[in-house]
Amino acid sequence: MVQSQTIPAVIRPPELAQLLREHPEVRLLDVRTPTEYETVHIRGAYNVPLDLLGEHGAEIRTNVAEPVVLVCQSGQRARKAEEALKAAGMPNLHVLEGGVNGWVAAGNPVVRRAERLSLERQVRIAAGSLAAIGGVLAVLLNPLFALLPAFVGSGLVFAGVTNTCGMAMLLTRLPYNRVATCDVAAMVRALKTGEPPAPSPRAETARRAPACPAC
């Protein structure tokens, strides 16, 4: 088994692709939302969303001795996941540089299903829309509406400084982002044993029934 000490703390996509070919026992832990995971993910990755990772940290630490590479969309959430698992006493952690975006940009294969907007794109769309609406209303109706883009800009600065995005947390609660579900307990069990990741309940349904145009 490859030793975690020989793997960079932040691993680039080409390095990870080679590592997985030579050492398939290395675990990939995708900490994005189930919807993002279902849309596109690296084959063999286990999905335990960031907001549920803390409660399973001790269990993962106790049962997974293999190196674990943390994956998100661009790398930011993976670093927060690394902090959470390190707080639980887990040493064998690594972060995929650039996340799934970087993996795809490097030409590596992924598993794709129905295309959906990533959480990062939703945040950019929501923030840009609020800033634009506030600016237009400030010009046409009342200068006080300029407070809206100022508030959005302040929120983005805060998110950048603290690496915590309140807008993203709110967006994850929307029905659009809860279409897919994740059996976290099953994922953690598979992660511990190295068995293939369990498909999401929605993915199972999609194989048994025709797709609905309204879904």
Q: 72, 165, 182, 212: which one is catalytic?
A: 72
Q: In whole angstroms, what is the distance from residue 53 CA to residue 84 CA?
A: 8
Catalytic residue check, 72: yes
Neighbours of 135 (CB within 10 A): 14
Residues classed as catalytic: 72
